[in-house]
Homo-oligomer: A and B are copies of this chain.
Amino acid sequence: MSRITPPILSLALQSETGRVLSIQSHTVQGYVGNKSAVFPLQLLGYDVDPINSVQFSNHTGYPTFKGQILNGQQLCDIVEGLEANDLLYYTHLLTGYIGSVSFLDTVLEVVKKLRSVNPKLAYVCDPVMGDDGKLYVPRELINVYREKVVPVASMLTPNQFEAELLTDSRIVSETDGREACNKLHEAGPSKVVITSININGNLLLIGSHLKEKGLAPEQFKILIPKIPAYFTGTGDLMTALLLGWSNKYPDNLDKAAELAVCSLQAVIQRTVDDYVSAGFDPQTSSLEIRLIQSQDDIRNPQVKLKAERFI
């Protein structure tokens, strides 16, 4: 068998999808990290190359968990393996929860390396640091995200708490949310989606696309129905869907967000319904999402909640 290297088809053949390197956790059971992000992107037609930053039996919210953690060197090894085979041409890089400064620093090296191969690489970064006012990563990561990661991100998908940390501001109104997006654009990413904001008892998504420097960004909001239950993996799912749809509609972030929100809501609703059908009160524990059972809603979302442009 000859040693001629075949082309990477996901790049050689025109398509509205791409080739995503996704560096996230892997849990054997359950749907968080790469378990939550990869399948939806594959459904949307993307070739996804997952580097699993950990392999745990289940996520860390269970009473116990066991498994292995990748260190920075092991991450480098894998990237070197890809490089040695000319396999480092990606259209997208996706990252989510990262647990240490050293791993985050290594990820920054990976961004540099990928961009030396493809300068147009889109880096979709979920700056996972905490939620509902609670930090769940080492405090030192905040500055690394702020100073080093945000400037190299193409699209950022913080929640309200993370957007506040990254902009050193409080978000209590839609105007505050829009202003936080403006600050983040200035720091780096041309696309920002604050995925969930609580304002006056309502749950909102605020998105912002800076199409041209010097012009005002196009900004919008989507009002999201509150579903009284806790889930794991929904943030990872949301960021993956935003990557998937914003690549298909590169000039319509509001449309991409509508499609992502629609799929997410369908997954959440099915999850609650199924736990109730199984005789379980969905409010008694955090729930694993019904990702597999919702694949039609991920492939073909029927948009119900529309984006409202801010004029």
Assuming A58-B81, A82-B57, A87-B29, is B230 touching A6 (CB within 8 A)?
no
A183 proximal to B (CB < 8 A) = no
Separation in Å of the A253 CB from the closest CB of chain B? 24
Given the known A-B contacts A66-B78, A78-B67, A295-B43, are A3 and B285 also in contact in the complex, defined by CB atoms under 8 Å? yes
A28 lies within 8 A of B78 (CB)? yes
Known: A1-B286, A64-B81. A7 touches B278 (CB 8 A): yes
Check if A52 sits within 8 Å of B55, measured CB to CB. Answer: yes
Given contacts A65-B81, A85-B58, contact A28 B3 (CB under 8 A): no
Beyond A39-B39, A67-B77, A288-B6, is A62–B85 a contact (Cβ under 8 Å)? yes
Number of copies of this chain in the oligomer? 2
A64, closest chain B residue (CB): B84
A78→B52 contact, CB < 8 A: no
Chain B residues whose C-beta falls within 8 Å of the C-beta of A274 in the assembled complex: 9, 13
Q: Interface size on A (CB < 8 Å)?
A: 63
Q: Check if A42 is an interface residue, CB within 8 A of chain B.
A: yes
Interface contact A285-B84, CB-CB below 8 Å: no
Contact A81 B57 (CB under 8 A): yes
Contact with B along A49-65 (1 / 0, CB 8 A): 11110011110001111
Check: A12 CB closer than 8 A to any chain B CB: yes
Inter-chain contacts of A7 with B (CB < 8 A): 275, 278-280
B81 lies within 8 A of A292 (CB): no
A200 on the interface (CB 8 Å rule)? no
In the complex the two chains form, is A29's CB within 8 Å of B6's CB? Answer: no
Give bound CA distance, A6 to B78, whole Å. 36
Give the most central of A26, A66, A77: most B CB within 10 Å.
A66
- Which residues of A64-108 have CB atoms within 8 Å of chain B's CB atoms? 64-68, 70, 74, 77-82, 84-85, 87
Known: A51-B28, A52-B26. A287 touches B57 (CB 8 A): no
* With A3-B63, A3-B285 as contacts: A58 and B45 at CB distance below 8 Å: no
Check A57–B39 contact: CB distance below 8 A: no
A63, A85, A230: residue with the most chain B Cβ atoms closer than 10 Å: A85
Q: Nearest CB to that of A41 among chain B residues?
A: B292
Contacting residue for A293 out of B6, B45, B62, B277, CB 8 A:
B45
A residues lining the B interface (CB < 8 Å):
1-7, 9-10, 12-13, 21, 26, 28-29, 39, 42-43, 45-47, 49-52, 55-58, 62-68, 70, 74, 77-82, 84-85, 87, 230, 274-275, 277-280, 284-288, 290, 292-293, 295
What are 9 A-B contacts defined by CB distance under 8 Å?
A2-B285, A3-B63, A9-B274, A9-B278, A10-B292, A28-B50, A57-B81, A57-B87, A64-B81
